[in-house]
Amino acid sequence: MNDFKAVLEEKKKLVWPEIERRLNRFLDFPPFCKVDDKYKPLSKFHQKMVSDYPLRKGKYVRPTLLILTAEAMGVSTGKTIKTAAAMQTSEDWILIHDDIEDDSLERRGKPTLHRLYGKELAINAGDSLHILMWQILKDNFEVIGHKKARAIIDEFVQILNRTTLGQTVEIKWTQENKTILTDRDIFFILESKTAYYTIAGPMRLGAILAGASKKQLETIYQFGQYLGRCFQIRDDLLDLTSDFSGLKKQKGNDIYEGKRTIMLAHLLRNIKGKEKDKLLKVLKKTRAQKTENEVGWVIKMMKKHGSLEYGKKLAEKLACQAKEFFDGNLGFISRNPAREQLRAGINFILERKH
């Protein structure tokens, strides 16, 4: 796991300068629409706000998977940087909007953007990063040629469409307080929001840069289903049991937000009687109405009824399936050290602490 953390840092150092350069210059307008000196302070404020989440720098899992896949299929790193930078930028604008939709308190150890500046300005900052993402992809045409650049954009459209579908379903089921849920229902959300967006999508982008066949791209998607589900279940378990290595002050954030997770679905299927009645009452409440004691009680019930252990075992099973599938079906991702680094990423995702 530690080796993969070093790989993440290495790739972050390659991708960040591309994003930083864009953030420093995205308000450099041509003479005909240049900002008057009188309004420069407002431009500076806008730039600071838009740059906030990118400057916090996440783990860079998605751009790293993208670069490693391309490298393992024979693509030079220089050909991957813009696509990887666009992938990371997509994460930052999605997180801004996601945090508003969930009314989250913190992101990467600091207050969420809408809690710093208000929802209206935060939405606008997310929109600005969305624009920046497409600008990076436009500039990709000069680096990788028209055919591949267009294929990359097509994949981005597909990834993001599936991601927003998953977000719609998650929000709708939360708003409806849906309580009858199978693992398959939860996997539908995970396939859209995590398996494709976090694992399969970035890897497919790297493979597209390498000229992968349709069959190879479909195989990568299958792999992403195993590892992506593992990734999200592990993330949800950490939310219930960890402080994300000091980055998060509030445990059980998903319970406050009413998110439908594997552990909550398991608890709803197994809890009975007065305990179930109390659980349903807690779930009906809004984030602001739920107390710390109530959220703690839900976590206690997840322990009592084996929901946390169920999630843990399922994540471990999915990680094993991911390894077996990787070894047996992704032989075309062959060049080392990138291939071995990708495989190390499976353990990292299962064992990570934040």
Q: In the chain, what are the domains?
A: 2-351 (1.10.600.10)
pLDDT, tens digit, for every residue of 156-213?
A: 999 999 999 999 999 999 999 999 999 999 999 999 889 999 999 999 999 999 999 9
**Residues paired with residue 107 on neighbouring β-strands, in sequence order:** 110
pLDDT at 191: 92
Where does residue 31 rank: exposed (0-12), middle (13-18), buried (19+ CB within 10 A)? exposed
Q: CA torsion sign, 73 to 79 to 83 to 89?
A: positive
**Helix (H/G/I), strand (E/B), else coil: 98:** helix
Q: If we measure between CA atoms, which residue out of 88, 74, 80 comes closest to residue 140?
A: 80
Cβ contact 197:159 at 8 Å: yes
- Whether 247 has a pLDDT exceeding 70, the answer reads no
Which residue, chain included where needed, has tokens 């969305």?
130
Residues sharing a CB contact under 8 Å with residue 262, sequence separation 6 or more, in sequence order: 183, 186, 233, 236, 310, 311, 314
Query: What tens digit of pLDDT does each residue of 263-309 get?
Result: 999 999 999 999 999 999 999 999 889 999 999 999 999 999 999 99
Confidence of residue 52 (pLDDT cuts 50, 70, 90): very high
Peptide bond into 31 cis (omega under 30): no
CA distances from 282 to 123, 255, 286 (A): 30, 9, 9
Give the whole-angstrom CA distance, residue 185 versus residue 183.
5
Mind listing the pLDDT tens digit for each residue in 134-169? 999 999 999 999 999 999 999 999 999 999 999 999
Is the confidence at residue 244, as pLDDT, over 60? no
pLDDT at 250 over 80: no
The Cα–Cα gap between 318 and 39 comes to 53
CB neighbour class for 213 (10 Å; exposed up to 12, middle 13-18, buried from 19): exposed
Instruction: Measure the CA–CA gap between 115 and 309, rounded to whole angstroms.
Output: 34
Q: Which residues of 81-98 are buried (b: 16+ CB within 10 A; e: fewer)?
A: bbbbbbbbbbbbbbbbbb
* 185 in Cβ contact with 172 (< 8 Å): no
CA angle 257, 175, 283 (to 5 degrees): 55
On average, the pLDDT of the chain sits at: 95
The CA-atom distances, in angstroms, between 68 and each of 99, 270, 340 are: 29, 42, 10
User: At 107, is the secondary structure helix, strand, or coil?
Assistant: strand
Neighbours of 43 (CB within 10 A): 14
Digit-coded pLDDT (tens) for 10-26: 999 999 999 999 999 99
Q: What is the pLDDT of residue 353?
A: 76
Q: Which helix (H) or strand (E) holds 110?
A: strand 110-111
Rounded Cα gap, residues 285 and 291, in angstroms? 10
